[in-house]
Structure 1
């Protein structure tokens, strides 16, 4: 059993870049710097206050995290580089949170960024055993013409097929999930896609595999996200309690032997999601019924469908009934993926979990404007990577007082880039002057 830390940990600053199509025109040091500066400005801190950093990315050489953060100052703090597939961003957040919860430091940063290649995800290594070889082989064996499909949509598509076969969901339910998320993203200025599509347009877009059409699949993306976490003592000392969001539970889990079964629903990590979610609810002292808003890892519409069950948002086999009742969008029991989710907001692997944290922090602060969820008390985050690792996090506002944005605009509803003044406030005051001037000259 995962024990709950005795020390409270709060999110005190968040920031992200826009998520965009991979074009190679902007490199990861620029994405990462933008997100980090925004989070530091949000927390009213300079980089001098950061005592530990975890940096997540999947595509890039080791120590890329240092390359980003050295732009803010070479302060000699520990910087850990994290790669945990699609749950990389939340894994970085878990590392930063644990550093504070343990009492090792009082203030830590989690930064995630990605510069991706266009097209379907593929391994960078052809001369060694891939981590998902067993699951991929099972999926090909279970499917028709599966060998011709990209690995990820094949695995998730088979999970969707099995859920429909077993419980009576239909392809319309999968399409409705995508329609909802594209509609939600139209109000998110950070989203890669902001177009609204009809159900028919979703269904008639090109087929990728099985029930999954192109508009039901997340795109490859470039972008970055950042969260700053701190101890209660640090929060009180710096007068940040009214903007702070408590991490009241955070649990990571890995696969159980069910992942090796012939059940396609289990291939996508549902059992580790169940374990992490149940432990998180227990730690937070709540149930799924107490949650109002959810950022859920919808890399494919099929994964959102099966994850409703795994997170306990619906009884087993009744995820499609939640959709039919409208209980996954505004006016219903939950609002799932108000940001647009991975399907429409985008999915730069290392940044996704931190973008989820950013959105839920804005929701709990009531900054989210036209996409604000009413009466949010508890927010739930789900970030999963095959192979596998899942992180489930539950957040709540630290106080019932609500502050307004203090950076001159509302970053939740306006995706501005950073300027020299923003950078100057965020950079360490004892930074290497030559590096500082070089970065400043680019802004």
Structure 2
């Protein structure tokens, strides 16, 4: 029998601009202390820890956790690109679910550098090097852009060409993110933006993307304490949020053949992961009340509505126009403000999603609260590739 896995505690630091944050180990330690306090346990009760970060040297996880305590427990450092935080969560949950441990910790943190993302290991082939010809052939005219901008700009352009999606739809998604973030004190951007303001911003990809449609590089940390039900009851911990199902997928062959930018940005990984989650939990997309998804670009959020099954293929523009992605619609998407407004420290993002959805299911989300939320879905994507989809339920 596999153990039920419960989210006993969550913690998160405010997300801030690069160059203004504390060192990574201080942010990470603050998030861990907050999660432990939320759970009502001490660090000496943690039996294993998984520490996620993308930009850092070896054993940054130990450096961070030693600020909280030195108990000799196993610490595993995790790097799975932008899905790193949820991969750490995935490993912590598997440890508890397998009954190897009763109490595990997942923490993610990132101390980013100012400026656009860049390759730090430019003396060797990059990830996905075998498939770079696909990217280059599908994104003519975007050669001057960094890889992330070229990738998601190209995917947005393909969606527009295939389904007639308008640039204004991406702007509407970005404006929605800004409205949601107004009520999130931990978000980096809390000013509401109009569709017109977003459309008039600096153009990155003509006819496809402006600067406001891209998420900012951000520093921050988040953590979660995952326990078995028997551990929670033995120690009098809260049992109200359960991880009902979870899946981690990587690129299948059809991600690159036939060539498609929608596939390149993970649509196949997402569809496979969410299908596994529906099968494990016995629910479907129509059952979800609230979702935190990987909106690194407004274009990706639009693509993901379809990949996650919230609307039919080609139906994302209508989904946005009908307001089905916000309060009063079908599924409230990114009530935190998402990566676009909350910020995106890659190592912390998946655990920040856990923080938001745990508070939604507890009814603790204040003005962001989705009324009556009982099922919550998290989607966290790392190109290269890895996709983690997690289903949380009110226990």
Alignment TM-score, normalising by the size of structure 2 = 0.97
Match of 1:287 in 2: 284
| Partners of 1:374 and 1:288 in 2: CA distance | 18
The correspondence of residues 201-280 of structure 1 with structure 2, limited to 5 A, is 201-210=197-206, 211-242=208-239, 244-261=240-257, 262-280=259-277
Tell me whether 1:198 sits opposite 2:188 in the alignment: no
Contact 1:136-1:151 within 8 A present in 2 as well: no
Tell me whether 1:313 sits opposite 2:310 in the alignment: yes
Q: Unpaired runs of 5+ in structure 1? A: 399-443
CA RMSD of aligned residues (A): 1.1
> Which of the residues 91, 100, 122 maps onto 1:104?
100
| TM superposition shift of 1:135 | 4.6
| Partners of 1:140 and 1:276 in 2: CA distance | 27
| Partners of 2:291 and 2:16 in 1: CA distance | 23
| TM superposition shift of 1:183 | 1.0
Contact 2:153-2:205 within 8 A present in 1 as well: yes
Match of 2:116 in 1: 120
SS of the residue aligned with 1:202? helix
**Cα distance per residue 1:110-162 (max 9 Å; x no partner):** 00000011122111101111013345443332223221011101111111111
Contact 2:2-2:99 within 8 A present in 1 as well: no
| Partners of 1:183 and 1:139 in 2: CA distance | 33
Tell me whether 1:93 sits opposite 2:89 in the alignment: yes
> Which of the residues 186, 189, 197 maps onto 2:185?
189
| TM superposition shift of 1:7 | 1.4
Match of 2:391 in 1: 394
| Partners of 1:319 and 1:25 in 2: CA distance | 36
SS of the residue aligned with 2:112? coil
Tell me whether 1:322 sits opposite 2:314 in the alignment: no
Contact 2:21-2:111 within 8 A present in 1 as well: no
Match of 1:46 in 2: 42
Q: Unpaired runs of 5+ in structure 2? A: none
Number of residue-to-residue matches in the alignment: 393
Tell me whether 1:173 sits opposite 2:169 in the alignment: yes
Bigger CA radius of gyration:
1
| TM superposition shift of 1:51 | 0.2
Contact 2:21-2:219 within 8 A present in 1 as well: no
Match of 1:360 in 2: 357
Match of 1:380 in 2: 377
Closer/same/farther in 2, CA of residues 136 and 205 from structure 1, 3 Å limit: farther
| Partners of 1:157 and 1:134 in 2: CA distance | 21
| Partners of 2:282 and 2:236 in 1: CA distance | 27
Tell me whether 1:139 sits opposite 2:135 in the alignment: yes
The correspondence of residues 427-442 of structure 1 with structure 2, limited to 5 A, is none
SS of the residue aligned with 1:343? helix
SS of the residue aligned with 2:348? helix
> Which of the residues 327, 339, 342 maps onto 2:336?
339
Contact 1:156-1:302 within 8 A present in 2 as well: yes
